[in-house]
Structure 1
Amino acid sequence: MLLDRLQADLATLNEQALRRVRRTLDTPCGPHATVDGREILAFCSNDYLGLAGHPQLVCALAAGAQRWGAGSGASHLVSGHYRVHDELEARLAAFVGMDSALYLSTGYMANLGVLPALLGRGDAVFADRLNHASLVDGALLSRASLRRYPHGDVEALTRLLETSDAPCKAIVTDSVFSMDGDLAPLTELLALAERHDCWLIVDDAHGFGVLGPQGRGALAAAGLASWRLIYIGTLGKAAGLAGAFVAGQRDVLAWLLQKMRTYIFTTGAPPALAQALLASLELIEHGDERRARLNALIEQFRAELRLTRWRLLPSATAIQPVQVGDNAETLALAQALWDEGLWVPAIRPPTVPQGSARLRVSLTAAHGAEDVRRLTAALKRLEQTL
């Protein structure tokens, strides 16, 4: 029976140490939290600048609800597009140095919508093997041929492009890879896009607000500009709120507005949220002190954590993965940290490749030096005793 099969599959997940567990917070997002009824020091949010609980954003969201109400009422192309949405899109586009932008409800919806709007059968998508699942799903929905190149391997990508006769091609990549913390070779990827007449689609979910001057993102950090670039930024991470945006050349965005199904066929995000995001952009733009604090914590973490059995993966970003390898051992490590009041998520297949299970340490500007010291001390001790 169907239910018997499902229950057997759940049991298999348990045996393979792959069953996910959801925890419940009783306090706002922040390093020091109450989770499942106990006090915990958390290293698992993507709130990189510590803005999710910022009083200015709380007030801006409340003021937005007073001004615009609780919901939008319809999709953007029916009656759910408000003046404050226009203001936010114009501000986002200018902030990342693009002509135009579209605001969507989530980063997943943005990534799911862009590729099917630009490519179809007979076309080709060239994707980094470690791209986020939403980019993979967007490529599959486009019905274009999906060619995945080894992570960060520009030479392998070059060979794939040289043998492609697809009429429309797109190179697709994360900027900061969410489970490894390393950076895509964006300069080389744009050069290939120019040489082979491709779009270059960059998901900057973990770079927006953190990388580049004033937090303008990975493209600004690399000094890149081109009409071929389509930029996707997420607003639920460093921006501290929710939503995402796609930015690029004006005609490209005009086409996406007409063809991107995840934009057309969904209710618009609440305008109150757009008003709060305008306040968040101000904090990001003037947030050099927060970014400096975050970078200091990253340097401290890497300097203090010297491992012999486990491996701290190379990363200069807020994502600091500690690769353990075995699923059960990774779960046991996460549980041992939890027992000490430290919340660090265990990441296992299929999110990461088989044999590379890890802890994903996420640092934020809201952490302190003593918080980091407590975590590194626990990890070093547990490596010797677990």
Structure 2
Amino acid sequence: MQEDILTNLEIKNTLEACNIELEKFVLNLLNSKHHKFSKKSYPHIFDVYEKHQGLCDIVCNYFTIMDVGSIKDMDLLVDNFKNSNSDEFDYSKMENLSKTHILSLVTFVEVLKFIFLNIVPYNIFKKSEEKNLRTEENGINRELFKEKMDSLENGAYIKFVAYETNWALPLTGHSMLINKIEADKYLFFNPDAHYPECKFLNGTQLCEKVDDIAKVFERVTFIDNMKFIQRVEDTLFAAPAKKKSESCDLTSPPRVPIFDKGLLTNKLNCLSPGTMIQFDDFETKNGLKLPGHALLIHKLRHNDFVFYNTEAQPECIFCTSEQLIEEIDKLAFSHGNVLINCEKLIQKIDDVFIDKAKNLKLELQGTILHALSEESLSPTSL
């Protein structure tokens, strides 16, 4: 019992420490605006900030993609935005995310429905429920809200959007995030530029928090952000390129993993026994670099390899080149968020060949060529 109490206390302290670090991270990220990024340096993220007066919506999307509710990803979440040689934030990591802003992705018809009919894509409340969602004091119906939260599956991410209606675009408002951890336990995240929040709340506390915020805004809506992120991936990174008229700001072609099994097999077979290749170029489907994941390929003999993978469930397996290709193939076309960049893996193998050739050249220069330069050759010595 004593050990259980200590363990629970350690977990609680760890969660609180992570939340504090996360709040500091958001505070630095959102407050480092004008002197940290410019239209010339980061045009897409600058446009989002100028057009929508903030980055709250795309930060919520990033936290959904990275599964911020998972304790193991807290460090990964923060480190992903830092340059490798300093603690400065690298806003280039945000450029792809700029395309995920909800008002950049929805169609013009959906925007009109949003303004005039309050019909929002992926709203977790039905139209009949929405009629009773707000109270006379402009808060929320806590009983109805709690009932809806209770019905959600564990792991659900709900984007809580509070906004004002006006007759001109863009709409003005604020995006927050609710992650259901388990029954009666939620992670509430508010990417406010001045007072960011990241707190674990029970159902009653969550109702109070949402109610207080709702009273300040004219309208609120609750979006299933998992479904929205799936639409982002399908639209921007998986589906064939659409015409510009079909959706907004689709300025980049979809990202499709390139994986040539034959080419990779040939390169693996050409490696010398004893060669080890460490590879850590993992990324999300939308091209975000993911530090912390790595794999190691060790060639033992002609067709014997050791494959060590820290992504997802760590594993170490002995395999043939064909089995190794199958393992890499799974990573290249993962149905999850993490992908391996196979183009960079092939480049990594090529670098091994280049390094080996350079080393061989240096050895030749230091031995044979050196000997030839000291010993004069005659016809009889040949």
Tell me whether the two structures share a fold, i.e. TM-score over 0.5: no
- Greater fraction helix: 2
Which is greater in Rg?
2
Q: Which has the higher contact order (CA 8 A, sep 6+)?
A: 1
